[in-house]
């Protein structure tokens, strides 16, 4: 490690580059592997980007593997490798049958192949990529279960503390009878109730009496009319 500079000349003129600090940091792990994806119009995954990155290393060489088979850096039918040394390497994938499988990456030093660090393996295919994450499924199922438990608790509380109609009805009926008796007593309805029979009898007698008087009046009128007709027949008829 140290400062480096290069020099160039054409036989008559010499030029120098600026000084650069040259450092060599050996590759060290862990090597992380993660991915993101692109979706189509129907929200299906159509493309995936895999990222490989070492924790340390100044001159890192990246290699990608599919099902433990090395993928060349030249573009393939369903993939393309983009290196961004020394930070990371990106594997671009098209989601189809050819790209399904287990991926991992390995990193090493450009000047020393004795040290190689491998990332974890990641299986990818169309069904796995379009499946709901386990966390989302767990959250939805947990919320649904919580709602069911709360509904059951509310139903149980309502069943335990429900009003007992068998005990309430007799009490209400008794109170209503007491209130009605007190109200009738205040208004003097008790005497009126006791004399109801006499009142009915008096009313019937008055009706019979009125009926008799009406019959007598009708007989008198009929007799008067008959007498008037007889009187008219007895009068002489004058002829002119």
* 113 plus 84 within the same structural domain: yes
141 vs 3, residue with greater confidence: 3
pLDDT of residue 60: 92
Rounded CA-CA distance 111/58 in Å is 11
* 48 plus 72 within the same structural domain: yes
Concatenated DSSP letters of 48-93: EEEEEEEEE-SSEEEEEEETTEEEPSS--SSEEEEEETTTEEEEEE
Q: What is the mean pLDDT of residues 184-210?
A: 51
* 142 plus 109 within the same structural domain: no
**CATH number, position 122:** 2.60.40.10
Q: How far is CA 85 from CA 17, 18, 50, 202, in A?
A: 22, 22, 15, 124
Range of the domain at 156: 132-165
Per-residue pLDDT tens for 126-148?
Answer: 877 776 566 666 788 788 888 99
* 74 plus 37 within the same structural domain: yes
- Could you tell me if 94 and 67 are in contact, meaning their C-beta atoms sit under 8 angstroms apart? no
Rounded CA-CA distance 57/105 in Å is 15
* 72 plus 100 within the same structural domain: yes
The percent of residues in the chain predicted with pLDDT above 90, rounded, is 32
The single-letter DSSP state of residue 105 is: E
| Local structure of 134: helix, strand or coil | helix
107 vs 206, residue with greater confidence: 107
**Is it the case that residue 67 has pLDDT exceeding 90?**
yes
* 114 plus 76 within the same structural domain: yes
pLDDT of residue 132: 58
Residue ranges in the chain assigned as alpha helix (H): 126-129, 134-160, 165-187, 189-194, 196-234
β-strands 14-16, 7-9 pairing:
antiparallel
pLDDT of residue 101: 93
Residue 50, domain member (yes or no) = yes
β-strands 2-4, 20-22 pairing:
antiparallel
């Amino acid at each position: 490690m140290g400062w480096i500079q290069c020099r160039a000349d054409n036989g008559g003129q010499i030029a120098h580059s600026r000084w650069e600090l040259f450092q060599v940091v050996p590759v060290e792990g862990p090597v992380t592997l993660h991915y993101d994806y692109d979706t189509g119009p129907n929200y299906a995954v159509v493309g995936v980007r895999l990222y490989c990155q070492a924790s340390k290393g100044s001159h890192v060489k990246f290699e990608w593997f599919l099902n433990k088979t090395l993928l060349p850096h030249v573009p393939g039918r369903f993939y393309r490798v983009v290196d961004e040394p020394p930070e990371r390497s990106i594997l671009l994938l098209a989601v189809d049958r050819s790209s399904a499988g287990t991926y991992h990456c390995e990193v090493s030093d450009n000047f020393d192949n004795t040290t190689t660090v491998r990332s974890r393996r990641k299986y990818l295919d169309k069904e796995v990529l379009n499946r709901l994450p386990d966390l989302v499924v767990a959250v939805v199922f947990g919320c649904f279960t919580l709602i069911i438990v709360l509904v059951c608790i509310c139903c149980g509380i309502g069943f335990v503390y429900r009003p007992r109609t068998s005990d309430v009805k007799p009490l209400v009926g008794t109170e209503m009878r007491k209130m009605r008796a007190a109200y009738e007593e205040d208004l003097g309805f008790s005497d009126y109730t006791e004399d109801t029979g006499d009142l009915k009898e008096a009313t019937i007698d008055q009706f019979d009496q009125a009926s008799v008087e009406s019959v007598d009046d009708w007989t008198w009128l009929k007799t008067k009319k008959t007498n008037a007709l007889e009187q008219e027949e007895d009068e002489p008829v004058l002829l002119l």
